[in-house]
Chain A
Amino acid sequence: MQYIYAFITGGIICALSQILIDKTKLTPARILTSYVVLGVILAAIGVYKPLVDWAGAGATVPLLGFGYTLAEGVKTAVSDSGLLGALTGGAKAAAGGISAAVFFGLLTALLFKPADKS
């Protein structure tokens, strides 16, 4: 069942985003940036966690889930170390994803050829 919930939830988030792409002039950079910030806000007001519990990867894989990860990280860090945690929590929780994107991005550039500009 988890797989069906993941498919439906992830699918709906992406289909709604397609409306933004087709009907507004928002660039991909703006959409992704908005989603991460929106994910932080939705997690902060407590509505994203229930969605994650229900949909699993359907809620964590879209970039909204990246915002959720940031918010959860900050929450834990603040309860552990107060104001210092407010600064370290988000980056700590996102470290795996950011480091992987940077390192695999560099590897891609080293190992592959750019597309033909024809």
Chain B
Amino acid sequence: MELTPQEYQQLVQKHVKPSPLGKDMLWAFVVGGGICVLGQGILDFWKAAGLNEKDAATATSITLIGLSALLTGLHLYEKLAKYAGAGTLVPITGFSNSVASPALEFKSEGFVLGTAAKMFTIAGPVIVYGISASIVYGIILVILGAL
């Protein structure tokens, strides 16, 4: 059977599964929201423990990062991520996972060029552009302050 590209396109469209975007978004919403609620609970815990606003926020990030690294080591974070998508990527636990996961998986290439080098595959760019953006903002503030 001879098909023009247009006919082929129509045929493919008919058989392709409906986009799972809605389902993916629901998963991301529930899991991402859930991680934030967990974060709020941890934040309130550190505040109740007597930390000031700023220290409690830092302690909360550290706690979430530690939990995520542990779940990554147990290979549970990637299982959740399969369903949750952005829900597990976008929270700071996803940042931690992006460090811990290659650190563990590239252990076979050694602790220097494997673990230590590969842990920055995603975190490296995040730190480079995050810090640089903050410096640009700082310089703008200095210039505005001098005017």
A residues at B contact (CB < 8 Å)? 2-3, 6-15, 17-23, 28-29, 31-33, 35-37, 39-41, 44, 55-58, 60-63, 65-67, 69-71, 73-75, 77-78, 82-83, 85-87, 89-91, 94, 96-98, 100-102, 104-109, 111-112, 114-115
Contacts and interface: CB of A to CB of B under 8 A. Distances in A.
B72 A108 contact: yes
Nearest to A95: B58
B23 to A, nearest CB: 10
A37 B29 CA distance: 22
B100 A6 contact: no
9 contacts: A10-B37, A11-B30, A36-B130, A37-B130, A70-B131, A78-B138, A98-B123, A101-B95, A115-B105
B89 A31 contact: yes
B129 A33 contact: yes
A17 to B, nearest CB: 4
Most chain B beta-carbon contacts within 10 A, residue among A77, A91, A105: A105
Contact of B138 (A22, A37, A90): A90
Contacts of A40: 130, 133-134, 137
Contacts of A31: 86, 89-90
Contacts, number: 281
Interface of A is mostly: helix
A105 B99 contact: yes
B65 A101 contact: yes
B95 A89 contact: no
A55 B72 CA distance: 27
SS of B interface (majority): helix
B37 A14 contact: no
Contacts of A55: 36
B86 A33 contact: no
Nearest to A37: B133
A17 B36 CA distance: 15
Given A11-B30, A14-B28, A86-B138, A61 B133 contact: no
Contacts of B31: 14
Contacts of B119: 102, 105-106, 109
Nearest to B115: A109
Given A20-B86, A67-B130, A97-B65, A74 B138 contact: yes
Interface string B119-138: 10111011101110111011
Contacts of A109: 100, 103-104, 107, 111, 115, 119
